[in-house]
Amino acid sequence: MSMLDRYGRQINNMRISVTQQCNLDCFYCHHEGEDGHFIGNGHMKPEEIGKIAEIASKVGIEKLKITGGEPLLRRDIIDIVGRTAKHMKEVSMTTNGVLLSEYADELRKAGLNRVNISFDAPEPNTFQRITKSDVFDDVRDGVCAAQNAGLTPVKLNMVVLKGINDHHIPQAIEFASKVGAILQLIEFESSCEGANSSFFKRYHFDLCEMEEELNNRACEVRQRNMQRRKKYILPSENNGTAEVEIVRGMHNSKFCENCTRLRVTSTGELKPCLLINDNHINIIDSIRNGAEDEELMNMFKKAILLKEPYWRA
């Protein structure tokens, strides 16, 4: 049974960042709420990550997402997947897809269930402008490799940026439909303080109107329990359907009220919320010092009780 936080939310899923290194340089990246600076000795070992997954399962966490940076830059990523899959009902991964065609089959055999692939534009020029890399074809090949390996449903994560890729949304919907993937339109987000910056105001694209448009076009609308996200099933140009999910966190109290996720930083700290940085719990030192499972479980329980909605009504 999953543990409840102070707001009655069942905390049943977790994201673990396994590195802050990345082979792309997307200008909007939030580095999973870390400072973005790679610490040479900071990587957790596969057995340590496996131990965190084991303890998480003992407090009721059932789903794990492996993130980065770019997880596939770790040469031991197959080992990491295998160790965590022993303890979870589902293990997924967020990747930029550049190396995915090389690893897809091995990842599936190791126990990975599905992937989210960063896909901020459906055409090469805008893709390169955002990522600062000419790797569009590699990522597209990665999408196909994931499908062929059975890492499904494949989700394409498109962070919508005003004046950069917002006009590509219809094209992205059609691309996702053709390859049989789910498109996630993600609102560019920020902390309260960052929301007043010129950088945020320049690129933030409010997805409210897009949600309304999708709702009017949809032949079916579903709602996920996770953060009350809406899924829109749309008719597509190829006589099929397209599935589009909206991830809209900014000033969205319903989104936060229904968040059931705990995070682990790449340096081994339990992090209750992406946007809050003053309530971390260092669990990796306790693991390295040989702490008993009960002590580690109590650290998880403390982190869960520290969790609170960032955006409130």
The verdict on residue 312 lying in a domain is no
Q: Which pLDDT belongs to residue 239?
A: 74
Question: pLDDT tens digits, residue range 34-92?
Answer: 865 444 446 899 999 999 999 999 999 999 999 999 999 999 999 999 999 999 999 99
Q: What is the mean pLDDT of the chain?
A: 94
Contact call for residues 103 and 82 (beta carbons, < 8 A) = no
Q: Which of 36-40, 174-178, 234-238, 290-294 has the lowest mean pLDDT?
A: 36-40
Contact call for residues 99 and 76 (beta carbons, < 8 A) = no
Number of structural domains in the chain = 1
Question: pLDDT tens digits, residue range 188-232?
Answer: 999 898 899 999 999 999 999 999 999 999 999 998 877 778 899
Residue 136 reports pLDDT greater than 50: yes
The verdict on residue 228 lying in a domain is yes
Q: What residue type is 134 in one-letter code? A: D
The verdict on residue 126 lying in a domain is yes
Q: How far is CA 30 from CA 131, 190, 306, in A?
A: 14, 9, 22
Contact call for residues 31 and 19 (beta carbons, < 8 A) = no
Q: Which pLDDT belongs to residue 42?
A: 67
Q: Which pLDDT belongs to residue 150?
A: 98
Q: Which pLDDT belongs to residue 49?
A: 98
pTM of this structure: 0.95
Q: Domain limits at 7?
A: 3-306
The verdict on residue 313 lying in a domain is no
The CATH number linked to 239 is: 3.20.20.70
Contact call for residues 210 and 162 (beta carbons, < 8 A) = no
Q: How far is CA 277 from CA 271, 273, 281, 307, 310, in A?
A: 8, 8, 10, 11, 11
Phi, psi of 184 (to 5 degrees): -105, 115
> Tokens 């490799």 belong to which residue?
145
Pairing of β 269-271 and β 241-247: unpaired
Give me the percent of the chain exceeding a pLDDT of 70.
97
The verdict on residue 159 lying in a domain is yes
Residue 270 reports pLDDT greater than 80: yes
Residue 294 reports pLDDT greater than 90: yes
The verdict on residue 174 lying in a domain is yes
What is the spatial distance between Cα 112 and Cα 120, in angstroms, rounded to a whole number?
23
Q: How confident is the model at residue 2 (pLDDT cuts 50, 70, 90)?
A: confident
Q: How far is CA 116 from CA 47, 92, 146, in A?
A: 24, 8, 10
Residues 6 or more apart whose CB falls under 8 angstroms from that of 187 comprise 159, 160, 204, 205, 206, 207, 246, 247, 248, 249, 250
Give me the percent of the chain exceeding a pLDDT of 90.
85
Q: Which pLDDT belongs to residue 228?
A: 77
Q: Which two tokens stand for residue 126?
A: 């805008």
Contact call for residues 21 and 69 (beta carbons, < 8 A) = yes
HEC states along the chain? CCEECCCCCEECEEEEECCCCCCCCCCCCCHHHCCCCCCCCCCCCHHHHHHHHHHHHHCCCCEEEEECCCHHHCCCHHHHHHHHHCCCCEEEEEECCCCHHHHHHHHHHHCCCEEEEECCCCCHHHHHHHHCCCCHHHHHHHHHHHHHHCCCCCEEEEEEECCCCHHHHHHHHHHHHHHCCEEEEEECCCCCCHHHCHHHHHHECCCHHHHHHHHHHCCEEEECCHHHCEEEEEECCCCCEEEEEEECCCCCHHHHHCCCEEEECCCCEEECCCCCCCCCEECHHHHHCCCCHHHHHHHHHHHHHHCCCCCCC
Q: Which pLDDT belongs to residue 40?
A: 44
Residue 181 reports pLDDT greater than 90: yes
